[in-house]
Structure formats: structure tokens, C-alpha cells
Chains A and B, each alone.
Chain A
Amino acid sequence: YVLTQAPSVSVAPGQTATITCGGDKIGSYNVHWYQQKTGQAPLQVVFDDRHRPSGIPDRFSGLNSGNTATLTISRAEVEDEADYYCQIWYSNHSHAGVVFGGGTTLTVL
């Protein structure tokens, strides 16, 4: 199972950034999102499509339907610059495991 993300997205400070994650019928899976800043371990920003862990600003939101899951960052700030990864658990008759998207680098400028 393949999760497809655009390599890069740019947004001006204060504007809205949209990061997508494509997959076959991804809407039938729970999608999770992680932020990774340079030199740091990843940090979960959304779980189960649209829920935010404690401490994550409400500027981060998620949706998942059809063949696309979306992470939206409203009122983008310079501190939001990072790589973002989507993730699911996938299983079929012959394979089971965690799948990550290739990651999207968000630039805020």
C-alpha cells in the first residue's frame, strides 16, 4: 500500500497550508500525521484523521475522505516549517504493517 505526498509545499506567514496524502480508499483507514523539525524526532500532530494530541494548537486540523487525507495548518507560522508525514496501519491477506507517506517539506516564507 502506497501513501503519496507532494515533496514540498510553500505558504506565506498567516496563510493556510494544505498538505495532502493520497492512497487507494484511504478514507477507510485511520490516518495520522507527524511533524519533524530538522534534527528532531517526529511529533504527532493529528491522530485518527482529525484529533489533536494535547498541546497541539488548534491551527492544525485533519480530514480524510475518499482517496485523500488532508492536514491543514491555518495561520501558518515560521515555527511550522518542518517535514510532515502521514501514516496508517495497513493489512490484507498477505501483508500487515505501518505505512508512512514519503513526507512533505513545508516552507513558510
Chain B
Amino acid sequence: EVRLVESGGGLVQPGGSLRLSCGASGFTFSTYSMNWVRQSPGKGLEWISYVSLTSDAIFYADSVRGRFTVSRDNPRNSMYLHMSALRPEDTAVYYCVRDRNTLIRGRSTDFDLWGQGTLVIVSS
């Protein structure tokens, strides 16, 4: 079965750090660019970060640049999001998301596979 599974969410205090993981299965992970997308409670979708096949292209949303770091480990079929200096407004469900288009390199296109999400709550 083709799937993405996020883990690592939880309750963290403002200013704290957290690392999210995304495990991929059922497809050749190393041939797909990947993204993180989040959704605050009751709000819309917000793209957070993109990482290319070999991590040579990485992009961040302005809201997290300098605080969040995306990485991937192709042999382990995994992607990570290290989050630091967390703020209450970072509270959200974080989705691991696969880029559909394997032909376009160096940027995201659109998303054909989503994980179920992991909830991060930033609160004292």
C-alpha cells in the first residue's frame, strides 16, 4: 500500500523544539520530491517546506524560515522537519505530502499523496 505516516507531534512549550518524522512505504521514495503542509485548527492549508529528491533544492514559507529545517534520508525512506523557537501560532496538524510530478525538478508542483497528519500543540 502506498502511504505516508507522520509521527513526532505533541505538546511543546513556546520557544521549544520538536522533530517530526515522515515514513514512506509502497513507492520509491527517492524518486519523489516531498513537502510539509500544516493546518491550524479550523483554518486552511498552509505550505511549509519543500525538499527535492536529493535535497539540493529546499524552500520554506516565510512564516517558518530560519526556525524550521527540512531534511530527508532516502535509504530510510524518511523525511524530517526539525522545528525550533516554536510559537503558539505554529499549533497545527502537520501533513507529509508527496509531489505528483516526477519530471519537474527543483520546485514543487502539486500533491498526490498525503499522510494522515500529526498534531503539534505549542502552549505553556
A residues 39-71 touching B (CB-CB < 8 Å) = 41-44, 47-48, 53
Count of inter-chain pairs, beta carbons less than 8 A? 62
**Is there contact, CB below 8 Å, between A89 and B111?**
no
Chain B positions within 8 Å of A, measured between CB atoms, are: 35, 37, 44-47, 50, 59-62, 95, 100, 107-112, 114-117
**Is there contact, CB below 8 Å, between A85 and B45?**
yes
How many residues in A have their beta carbons less than 8 Å from beta carbons of B?
25
Listed from nearest, the 3 A-B pairs whose CB atoms lie closest are A98-B47, A32-B110, A41-B114
- Among the listed A44, A53, A83, A100, which residue makes an inter-chain contact with B47, where contact means beta carbons less than 8 Å apart? A100
A residues 59-109 touching B (CB-CB < 8 Å) = 83, 85, 87, 89, 91, 95-103
**Is there contact, CB below 8 Å, between A89 and B95?**
no
Report the minimum CB–CB distance from A105 to chain B (whole Å): 10
